């Protein structure tokens, strides 16, 4: 059985932070430079563990500085001001042994529920699977795909809290 815990980085042990970073580095597509500090600066970290304690999945809600957000939004040529999107969903990674079990969806769903009243942004590879995930959770592509610098393109996705709330309300009011 896989259980989850969501913690502030300051509430994590040094080993838990190191395990989080190790899984992100191994299975995530992330720049490892400065990753240790970026993990410590995150808002919340999610850990999925087997009953034996083995870490099998991670994800985070981050509060990146305006400079980083501005750079990402500019690379994507997004017309939305980055100041409206202060929380980033990211570092979703699942161990190869546990892929295909819906754990990425679980991680994303739990993190989004923590930030349901906040506008969120995320970047991910430009591929059909990632695009389906994004749409399923109320994210919409913004701007254009842009080079990651690592041989693939990235897409910026935005999830507007108010629009998502309105969509949920209208879905509830639609007769079946």
Residue 172 above 80 pLDDT? no
Strands (E), the chain: 3-7, 44-49, 55-62, 87-94, 120-125, 140-147, 153-159
Among 138, 124, 120, 24, CA closest to 76:
124
Report the predicted TM-score, pTM, of the whole model to 2 decimal places: 0.89
pLDDT higher than 80, residue 130:
no
Position 151 confidence tier, pLDDT thresholds 50, 70, 90: confident
pLDDT in tens, 13-72: 999 999 999 999 998 778 888 899 999 999 999 999 999 999 999 999 999 999 999 999
């Amino acid at each position: 059985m896989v259980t989850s815990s969501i913690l502030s980085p300051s509430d994590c042990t040094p080993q838990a932070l190191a395990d989080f970073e190790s899984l992100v580095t191994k299975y995530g597509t992330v720049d490892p430079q400065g990753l240790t500090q970026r993990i410590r600066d995150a808002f919340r970290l999610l850990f999925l563990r087997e009953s034996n304690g083995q870490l099998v999945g991670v994800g985070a809600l981050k509060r990146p500085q305006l400079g980083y957000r501005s750079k990402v939004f500019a690379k994507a040529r997004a017309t939305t001001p980055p100041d409206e999107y202060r929380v980033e969903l990211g570092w979703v990674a699942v161990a190869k042994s546990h892929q295909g079990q819906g754990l990425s969806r679980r991680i994303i769903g739990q993190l989004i529920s923590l930030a349901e009243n906040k506008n969120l942004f995320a970047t991910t590879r430009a591929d059909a699977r990632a695009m389906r995930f994004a749409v399923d959770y109320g994210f919409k592509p913004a701007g254009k795909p842009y080079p990651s610098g690592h041989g693939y393109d990235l897409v910026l996705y935005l999830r507007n809290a108010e629009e998502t709330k309105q969509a949920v309300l209208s879905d509830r009011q639609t007769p079946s």
